[in-house]
């Protein structure tokens, strides 16, 4: 990151700050806005869009800016940017299409809405930084295909666990080890949590109850680890990951994982509950060269062949602007699918469900998500968690049962379903021809 602060300082000195717009103004969006406005020289937050104009205004007022202009037309937004006046709007399309914007931060946590925003931004030549693992884990590979065709970057972000894991993965790889586990350290995992059980915690931190429920019930970590898998080519060793309850230090995991098994799997994404230091992420790397093992032993990293590396924190909104700088100034992707999906997030029943019911959303009462390898998802026609909201059940589903497309009726006319179908077709397993 040290190269980034120098580059941003140069943009500030030259009077040419990176011009950024943000779609979404919730808990994380407000933090990102405050960070850019007050702590990131060389970058300017020129516009914020939210379905609630009051939330968009709050992004600026909490950062100390009280004169943001409300705009409703493309011309008005362009004029505001040229005049150096921050703007707020309910119309995200204005931000996607504005000529005076270098990059877009998407932080809505939605899927259907965000898919439209991302496609519009790509069509108008905008680089996009996602703080939206749910979107990325559902249709990220096909969205990246669109971005590649248009010559723009679609990237995940620093700060959130997937980006921190990917930075650590790249570091471990760069010093000559082979990463075999990318992991996340959790304090709690209970798939049956819901907005009622999490209401007190949500109120304490000023967050939405369904959002913190998705953290507690395992859905969020499933999306996070799925996008790490898709960016590294790793898979899961079993549905839901291993997910050990492990109360020791993360360094001790080198004695828990089996090197030969990890090599046979080709590397996995995983998580542990209760390990120290928490919260944070870890990478387990393999080094089989005896000479390097001797040095690593001298450096107090253990006897090998597995070695642990960890980052004991994730600072979410504080680091998102650094992602924008990496993308705009260096064309460096923080996190993106390397090809098609390797791991998906599937839908399981949180309670017994009845035919005729309509599924609620991520972090609510009816469903939770788990990781599964994408080839199994496609073969068994399992329902992606990111598409479950709004689906109508055709039959009763028992608690903890994985839903399939045969169990539901999709809502009509959704963009996310069309993009998912495109993704399935684009990355379908190759058919092997055999000679009779």
358 pLDDT more than 60: yes
CATH of the domain spanning 2-160+317-330: 3.40.50.720
- Residue tagged 């492990």 (tokens): 246
36 pLDDT more than 50: yes
Exposure of 18 by Cβ count < 10 A (0-12 exposed, 13-18 middle, 19+ buried)? buried
Separation between Cα atoms, residue 192 and residue 194, nearest integer Å: 6
pLDDT digits (tens, 9 = 90+) for 404-428: 999 999 999 999 999 999 999 999 8
Between 231-235, 402-406, 426-430, the lowest mean confidence (pLDDT) is in 426-430
**Residue 429: what pLDDT?**
67
pLDDT digits (tens, 9 = 90+) for 89-109: 999 999 999 999 999 999 999
Q: Using the 8-state DSSP alphabet, how is residue 384 labeled?
A: B
434 pLDDT more than 80: no
CATH of 343-425, one of 3.30.930.10, 3.40.50.2300, 3.40.366.10, 3.90.1210.10: 3.90.1210.10
**Residue 432: what pLDDT?**
36
350 pLDDT more than 80: yes
289 pLDDT more than 60: yes
Query: What is the reported pTM?
Result: 0.94
Separation between Cα atoms, residue 231 and residue 225, nearest integer Å: 10
**Residue 431: what pLDDT?**
43
- Chain mean pLDDT for the chain: 95
**Residue 197: what pLDDT?**
86
Section 317-339 average pLDDT = 97
Domain boundaries, the chain: 2-160+317-330, 181-315, 343-425
SS3 state at 308: strand
Section 228-236 average pLDDT = 98
SS3 state at 286: strand
């Amino acid at each position: 990151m040290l190269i980034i602060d120098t580059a941003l300082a140069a943009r500030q000195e030259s009077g040419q700050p990176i011009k950024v717009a943000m779609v979404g103004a919730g808990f994380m969006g407000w933090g990102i806005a405050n960070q850019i406005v007050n702590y990131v020289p060389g970058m300017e937050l020129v516009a914020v869009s939210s379905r609630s104009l009051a939330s968009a205004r709050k992004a600026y007022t909490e950062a100390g800016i009280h004169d943001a202009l409300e705009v409703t037309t493309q011309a008005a937004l362009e004029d505001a940017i040229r005049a150096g006046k921050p703007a707020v709007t309910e119309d995200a399309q204005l931000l996607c299409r504005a000529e005076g914007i270098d990059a877009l931060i998407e932080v809505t946590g939605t899927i259907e809405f965000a898919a439209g925003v991302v496609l519009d931004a790509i069509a108008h030549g905008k680089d996009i930084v996602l703080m939206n693992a749910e979107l990325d884990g559902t249709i990220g590979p096909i969205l990246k295909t669109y971005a590649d065709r248009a010559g723009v970057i679609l990237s995940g972000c620093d700060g959130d666990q997937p980006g921190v894991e990917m930075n650590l993965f790249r570091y471990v790889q760069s010093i000559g080890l082979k990463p075999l586990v990318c992991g996340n350290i959790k304090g709690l995992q209970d798939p049956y949590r819901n907005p009622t059980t999490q209401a007190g915690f949500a109120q304490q931190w000023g967050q939405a109850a369904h959002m913190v429920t998705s953290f507690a019930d395992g859905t969020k970590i499933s999306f996070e680890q799925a996008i790490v898998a898709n960016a590294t080519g790793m898979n899961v060793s079993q549905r839901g990951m291993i997910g050990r309850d492990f109360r020791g230090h993360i360094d001790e995991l080198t004695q828990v994982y089996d090197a030969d098994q990890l090599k046979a799997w080709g590397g996995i994404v995983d998580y542990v509950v209760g390990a120290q230091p928490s919260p944070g992420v870890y990478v387990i790397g393999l080094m089989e060269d005896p000479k390097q093992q001797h040095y690593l032993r001298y450096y107090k990293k253990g006897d090998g062949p597995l070695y642990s590396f960890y980052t004991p924190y994730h600072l979410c909104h504080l680091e998102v602007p650094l992602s924008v700088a990496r993308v705009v100034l260096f064309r460096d992707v923080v996190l993106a699918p390397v090809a098609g999906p390797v791991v998906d997030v599937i839908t399981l029943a949180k309670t017994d469900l009845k035919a005729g019911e309509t599924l609620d959303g991520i972090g609510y009462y009816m469903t939770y998500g788990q990781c599964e390898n994408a080839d199994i998802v496609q073969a068994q026609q399992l329902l992606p968690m990111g598409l479950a909201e709004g689906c109508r059940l055709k039959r009763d589903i028992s608690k903890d049962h994985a839903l399939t497309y045969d169990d539901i009726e999709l809502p009509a006319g959704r963009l996310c379903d069309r993009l998912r179908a495109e993704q399935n077709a684009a990355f379908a397993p190759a058919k092997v021809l055999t000679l009779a």
